[in-house]
Amino acid sequence: MKKLILASASPRRKQILSDAGYAFEIITSDKEGEIDKITPPDKFAVRCAINKGEDVFSKLDGDVVVLSADTVVAFDGKIFGKPEDKADAERMLRQLSGNTHEVITGYAILSKNMRQTGKVITRVTFNNLPDAVLNAYLESGLWQGKAGAYGIQDGYPLVEKFEGDYDNVVGLPIKEIDEAIKEFLK
């Protein structure tokens, strides 16, 4: 069986892949995409995933499968990446409050002879966030390192509802890519 490499430092992706029963190694890429105002959010997420995956794959020899992903939040046509600081996180959360946005995870699965890329989109509707909830969440620091400055799994009443894949919002749409990973590992 081929060796699976996760090209991500995300503890959430690591947990989802582990919970799905995969044995894998982690090798990270330092390729981060620069958010621009021209590239549509879904294309941006896929491009970033491909860049990370190709970067890691290019450093490896042998029969390996590299899985990479990039998750962005898109609201009103704009990409909300990881917040730069607490003020940036507050800005994002205030904009998302009471509104519906998309969480887009682009992914790439790469091997010597095969390549599959794609995206999964989940629609998320936020509650109207009272200042007490917003401030408590900001003080928790849980927003750090997360697209859109939040984690659906963080235990705060941020999300009213979602349509689509919960794991996609967390960072890896395992239900969508599970069969493909298994095919690559054969």
User: What tens digit of pLDDT does each residue of 39-81 get?
Assistant: 899 999 999 999 999 999 999 988 999 999 999 999 998 999 8
Structural domains of the chain ordered from first start: 3-185 (3.90.950.10)
pLDDT of residue 33: 65
User: What tens digit of pLDDT does each residue of 1-36 get?
Assistant: 799 999 999 999 999 999 999 999 999 998 776 777
User: What tens digit of pLDDT does each residue of 116-148 get?
Assistant: 999 999 999 999 999 999 999 999 999 999 999
pTM passes above 0.85:
yes
| Cα 165 to Cα 178: distance, rounded to the nearest angstrom | 13
Active site residue 154: no
Q: How confident is the model over 140-168, as a mean pLDDT?
A: 97
Catalytic residue among 30, 36, 42, 70: 70
Query: Which two tokens mark 45?
Result: 């997420």
Q: Find all residues with CB under 8 Å of 126, minimum gap 6, and list them.
A: 96, 97, 98, 99, 100, 101, 158, 159, 160
